[in-house]
A and B are shown apart, each in its own frame.
Chain A
Amino acid sequence: MIAVAAGANRIDPYIIPALDGVAYGLLVFVAAAGLVFCFGVANILNLAHGTLYAIGGYTAAALLDGGWLSLALALAVGVLAAAAAGVLLAGLLTPVATGNHLTQALLTFGVALAGGSLLVAGFGPDDPQVRVPAALDGSVVVAGHRYAAYRLVFIVVAAVIATALYLTVRRTRAGMLVRAAVDDPEMVACMGVSPGRIRAGVLAAAGALAGAAGVLGAPIIGPGADTADTVLLLSLVVVVLGGLGSMAGTLLAALAIGEIQTLGVALLPSAAPFLLFAAMAAVLAARARGLATSWRAT
Chain B
Amino acid sequence: MSFTTPRRSRALTATLLALVLSTGTACAGDESGPSASGSIKIGLLASLSGTYQAVGKDIRDGFELYLATHDGKLGGRQVDLVVADEGNGAQTAVPAATKLLKQDRVVALTGIVGGGSVAGVYPLLNETKVPLVGSNGRPELKDVSRVWHTSYLSDEPGAAIAQHVRDNVKGSVYAIGPDYQGGWDELRGFTDAFAKIDGKLANPDGKTTFTPFPATTNFTPYFARIKASGAQAVYTFYAGSAAVDFVKQYAQSEIKDIPLYAAGFLTEGGVLNAQGEAARDIFSVLNYSPDLDNAENRAFVAAWKAKHDGSPTTYALASYDAAAVLDRAIAAAGSDPTPEAINTAIGQLGQIASPRGTWQFSTTTHSPVQKWYLRQVRQDGRALSNTVVGDLATIGR
Contacts and interface: CB of A to CB of B under 8 A. Distances in A.
Interface of A: 1-4, 12-14, 16-17, 20, 24, 43, 45, 47, 99, 101-102, 105-106, 109, 113, 120, 124-131, 137-139, 145-151, 182, 185, 219-222, 224-226, 229-230, 232-233, 236, 239-240, 244-245, 261-266, 269, 272-273, 289, 294
Nearest to A273: B212
Contacts of B338: none
A113 B25 CA distance: 10
Given A1-B204, A45-B15, A101-B15, 13 more contacts: A16-B224, A16-B254, A47-B19, A109-B18, A109-B19, A124-B270, A126-B271, A139-B253, A146-B254, A220-B218, A239-B12, A269-B225, A272-B211
Contacts of A294: 1
Given A20-B218, A105-B18, A269-B222, A127 B241 contact: yes
Contacts of B227: 13, 145
A242 to B, nearest CB: 13
Nearest to B249: A148
A126 B241 CA distance: 8
Contacts of A102: 11, 14
A182 B273 CA distance: 46
B382 interface: no
Contacts of A273: 179, 212, 215
A226 B14 CA distance: 21
B216 A222 contact: no
Contact of B252 (A47, A126, A139, A222): A139
B224 A222 contact: no
24 contacts: A1-B229, A12-B228, A13-B224, A13-B227, A14-B224, A24-B218, A102-B11, A109-B19, A125-B53, A127-B240, A127-B271, A130-B274, A146-B252, A146-B253, A148-B252, A182-B1, A224-B244, A225-B53, A225-B241, A240-B12, A244-B8, A261-B221, A266-B221, A273-B179
Given A126-B270, A129-B276, A45 B209 contact: no
Interface residues of B, number: 59
A101 B7 CA distance: 9
A272 B216 contact: yes
A219 B248 CA distance: 9
A236 B12 contact: yes
B335 interface: no
B214 interface: yes
